[in-house]
Copies of this chain bind each other. A is one copy, B any other.
Amino acid sequence: MATGRTHRTATRSRGIPEATVARLPLYLRALTALSERSVPTVSSEELAAAAGVNSAKLRKDFSYLGSYGTRGVGYDVEYLVYQISRELGLTQDWPVVIVGIGNLGAALANYGGFASRGFRVAALIDADPAMAGKPVAGIPVQHTDELEKIIDDNGVSIGVIATPAGAAQQVCERLVAAGVTSILNFAPTVLSVPDGVDVRKVDLSIELQILAFHEQRKAGEEAEAQADAVLAAEAEAAAAKGAGKGPDGDVPAVMPA
């Protein structure tokens, strides 16, 4: 799928790798900081350090955008800021709606990083009628009933879901039906969407679990030999139990997040 496209101009070829796209905002932030300090140029080495990546990766990333540097010198900060902004689509205004104005939704609405960089909170939407009209971050909350109208009136194509998990899929479907094609999901659920709709998820619980995994690793590294023996025994016991469908008193009741 999505082949075709006999690249028509030499503007810039097809397909910037996804991994590269994900790093562009990082570079942009570092460059913006340099720009504010009026630094005129920067080398791949310096910029890479500021962005927390290695310089080969950065140069390769930039090579997908074009040849924007000068050999022997480095990159012009202002120019790169502009090019990356344009590549990311930040030279235009993106109206965004936030659905679910609980603790998290309110925090997001108040988050400064939102307003800057071309994103504008066009509306806050919540299912609770008691919230309707109440201003959060200076914006009056509107009721879910208005969702379709809000999307349409404001030409919103990006939606943020900050509802409880149970409501997320339904909200998602309404957003998509109303014309939203990009969703940032903070609810701890897998959203299913039709082709052509992008979803990105931000999930606190998952991040913590990944950290816990590595943390456990570290602890194990210290203990080493003795722990290894213990774990082996444990694994065997567990395997035996698993096969026989043992009592669940042992199995920790892990709650859904």
Contacts and interface: CB of A to CB of B under 8 A. Distances in A.
A55 interface: no
B204 A113 contact: yes
A76 B251 CA distance: 13
A65 B203 CA distance: 23
A214 B198 contact: yes
Contact of A119 (B89, B91, B208): B208
Contacts of A200: 207, 210-211
A110 to B, nearest CB: 5
Contacts of A206: 22, 25-26
Contact of A29 (B92, B214, B256): B256
Contacts of A29: 188, 205, 256-257
Nearest to A11: B232
What interface size band does chain A fall in? 35 or more
A191 B195 CA distance: 36
Contact of A106 (B107, B158, B252): B107
Contacts of A85: 252, 254
Among A87, A157, A209, the one with the most B-chain Cβ atoms within 10 Å of its Cβ is: A209
A190 B117 contact: no
Interface of A: 8-12, 21-22, 24-26, 28-30, 32-33, 36, 50-52, 66, 68, 76, 78-79, 81-83, 85-92, 94, 96, 102-104, 106-108, 110-114, 116-119, 157-158, 181-184, 188, 190-192, 196, 198, 200, 202-216, 218, 224-225, 228-229, 231-232, 234-235, 238, 242, 245, 248, 250-252, 254-257
21 contacts: A11-B235, A22-B206, A25-B203, A25-B206, A30-B190, A33-B256, A36-B256, A52-B191, A81-B251, A81-B254, A82-B250, A85-B252, A86-B238, A88-B209, A88-B212, A90-B254, A94-B208, A114-B208, A158-B215, A184-B207, A200-B211
